[in-house]
Structure 1
Amino acid sequence: MQFSIFQPLPYFAPDQPTGWPQAPKLFTPEHALTSVQQNMDIIDAADEGGFDYISVAEHHYASRQMCPSPTLAAALISQRLKNAKIAILGVDLPLHNPVQVAEELAMLDTFARGNLLVGLFRGTPNEYITYGHNPAESKASFNEAVELLLRAWTEPEPFAWEGIHYRYRMVSIWPQPIQRPRPPVLVSGNSPSSAEFAARHRLKIGLSFVPVDKIPQMVEVYREAARRHGWEPGPDDVLWRAFAHVGETDEKARAVCDEYDYGDAMGILAPTPRQLASTATMMGEVAAGFGGPAGPPPGAGPVRPAIMGGPETVIEQLQAVREAGVGIADLIFSADFLPPEVSLESVKLFSKEVIPAFR
């Protein structure tokens, strides 16, 4: 089993209010510069401690994340890594020019010495408020953009693209990726249609915040679709993202998560009090465009990480995840109000006590 640490590049300010979007006036250079160093300390510890990947993702206007450009973040991080590979999990593809994304990722793969894993996603509903894109078209535009990007990486000659959502008279990106025929690409597997799309294009899937007991069913949907398309995915074709925290004992780990309300996947999407009514309305409209309910997204409320406890407990939990069909665990150790020094100690303990059990 491989391990990835998803570092959302938190803005570590203990008095920072929650809520999306965050007011720019609350940003301070002092906290930002300190946060950069604290994030790099965690990344360095994961790199030295045996994690296979360091992953970043795209989010906009989020109060406790500093990563609107995962490609830029990955480029910076990749140059300090000594052991781990870099993963972008992921790019919100419908918000961007897919040819430009293909160029930037190919350039990144070159400068990262061919150690790049790419995740392409539609993005969370709030992202469609930021740049003014039509959420009702997001799925169709995403599918076309993925196909265009894959062709841009593998077509040996310049070509034109006349699609429904994208039209280019000339596509001929340079440099090409170092990895041949292309870097490994991952898309969402959280729905049967997404799993079918991944299988048709021989892509990996990512399962985000899926309960462990639901993983086997979702993996089988993906595998069955792949069989229909003439291939068989392996464990490393399935990535699972979840919150994690390791303490010296189960009791200490639980106490930390309860104290800092750590593990709520919907935390960054909660609107500020000032924006509550307007944001809830917009989010409802966006969710409806995604095919979801025409109303504000239900709050997940305080929850605990799926991976939580002392080392022995965490090993047992991850063994269950592996048996469910997952080959890459993309774990979040830093989020919300969890202090960076607590995250750092959790990462070090995971590296020392947990990773060796899977080697």
Structure 2
Amino acid sequence: MKFGINLFPTTGPAEKSAARHFEESLRLVELAEELGFHHVKTVEHYFTPYGGYSPDPVVFLAAAAARTSRIRLVTGAVIPAFTHPVQLAGRLAMLDNISRGRLSVGFGRGFLPDEFAAFQVPMDESRDRFTEGVEACRRLWSEEDVVWEGRFHRFGPVTLLPRPFQRPHPPILVATALSPESCEAAGAAGHGLMMVPSINRTEQVRAMLARYRAAWDDAGHDPGDRDVHLSYNCYLAEDGDVALERGRVYSEHTNRALAAAVEPWTRTRSDAYRGYERVVERVRGSDFGKQVRDGKALVGTPHEVLDRVHAIRGWFGDVTISLQVISGNMPFEESQRSMRLFAEHVLPAFDQESAAVTAG
């Protein structure tokens, strides 16, 4: 298993300035590399405290690349529906070169109505725009004299500069929330997968991953290239009661930010997002204690969190876990402490298992 940090901002100007958020987050990136974490990930969102401090993950990850030398950089995710593929592929190829091949590109459809309205993109087109954007980027990275005749974009022949540092292109991951069909399509295409297990029952996540892995194997892709990223809210403290108390505060803060961002779904309908009209009710009904008990949030003492990670591995296999260490406007010092405790008590257990497997 591999472990990294997810820097998904859930704060705004009323609580923390953007300059302070970026500086603290970049310090956490440096700490993550120092402690031996595998990756740092951030998101693309707009306007609201739910992710709005990260309208362009490429800019942040370029700054992270300048401060580090080993840790992988993951977009989690960029949204092709909002950017021309030539521009998106070019920016990402720049980042791949700046980081000397440390980039993994996560793509997402987007799901917030106000964002689609601002870009004047119909939500019903989101899936087709996503599929077209991912494939256009892949071809621009891996081919020359590309001619593209799509539904939404037409261009070429063009040869993208710069060429990606990684050949034929950086690893591609796709984000999925509720759709088993999206998991199956990602597996067939040979793309990695990004999921947030807290929004589904464990049995549903297992079924979705089974379809993904079966489609991957049926397509004949190398099993060693398969990568599944799962994101979890994370808060560790030496005292379990303190961890639960503070973790609850930050979880509820994040839920309020998310509830405000998804509120337009109370008056929005789209055939491309069936069932999303119930998302506001689901967010408001979130039960922090149950999420912790069900292993959907990594909150507790280092020993308790280690036990939960072992449970996650039993359910889902060897996956890549992204720890959301700034959820709910968490103070920098507390994010730093959670990362240090995780690195001291959890990472070594899996490093030792990996070493034992290699030796065997």
Where on the TM-score scale, by shorter chain, does this alignment land: which range? 0.7 to 0.9
The equivalent of 2:257 in structure 1 is 268
- Counterpart of 2:338, as a letter, is S
CA positional deviation for 1:307: 1.1
TM-score (norm: length of structure 2): 0.85
C-alpha distance in 2 between matches for 1:265 and 1:98: 32
- List gaps (5 residues or longer) in structure 1: 17-27, 273-278
The 10-residue stretch of structure 1 (305-314 or 31-40) with the greater mean CA deviation from structure 2: 31-40
The equivalent of 1:91 in structure 2 is 78
1:103 aligns with 2:86: no
Q: How many residues align?
A: 337
Q: Which runs of 4+ in 1 moved over 6 A?
A: none
Partner-residue secondary structure (3-state), 1:271: helix
The 10-residue stretch of structure 1 (139-148 or 287-296) with the greater mean CA deviation from structure 2: 287-296
Q: Is the 8 A contact 2:265 2:276 kept in 1?
A: no
CA positional deviation for 1:62: 2.1
Query: Which of residues 29, 33, 54 in structure 2 aligns to 1:43?
Result: 29
Q: Is the 8 A contact 1:63 1:268 kept in 2?
A: yes
C-alpha distance in 1 between matches for 2:343 and 2:68: 16
Distance 1:280 1:219, change over 3 A: closer
The equivalent of 2:112 in structure 1 is 125
- Counterpart of 1:54, as a letter, is V
- Counterpart of 2:268, as a letter, is E
C-alpha distance in 1 between matches for 2:119 and 2:38: 33
CA positional deviation for 1:11: 4.4
Percent of residue pairs identical:
28
Matches within 5 A, 1:137-152: 137-152=125-140
Query: Which of residues 217, 229, 238 in structure 2 aligns to 1:248?
Result: 238
Distance 1:175 1:185, change over 3 A: same
- Counterpart of 1:248, as a letter, is E
The equivalent of 2:328 in structure 1 is 336
C-alpha distance in 2 between matches for 1:153 and 1:254: 45
Query: Which of residues 295, 307, 326 in structure 1 aligns to 2:298?
Result: 307
1:239 aligns with 2:229: yes
Computed over aligned residues only, the root mean square deviation of the Cα atoms, in angstroms, reads: 2.5
Matches within 5 A, 1:286-305: 287-294=270-277, 297-301=280-284, 302-304=286-288
Q: Which of the pair has the greater relative contact order for Cα pairs under 8 Å at 6+ separation?
A: 1
C-alpha distance in 2 between matches for 1:287 and 1:347: 39
For residues 136-192 of structure 1, the C-alpha deviation after alignment (integer angstroms, 9 at most, x for no partner) is 01001111111111111111x212111112211333111111111211110024422
The equivalent of 1:321 in structure 2 is 312
Matches within 5 A, 1:148-297: 148-155=136-143, 157-190=144-177, 191-210=179-198, 211-231=201-221, 233-234=223-224, 237-258=227-248, 260-262=249-251, 266-271=255-260, 280-281=263-264, 284-285=267-268, 287-294=270-277, 297=280
Q: Is the 8 A contact 1:122 1:142 kept in 2?
A: yes
> Whose helix proportion is higher, 1 or 2?
2
C-alpha distance in 2 between matches for 1:263 and 1:355: 28
C-alpha distance in 2 between matches for 1:265 and 1:11: 8
Q: Is the 8 A contact 2:265 2:280 kept in 1?
A: no
CA positional deviation for 1:106: 0.8
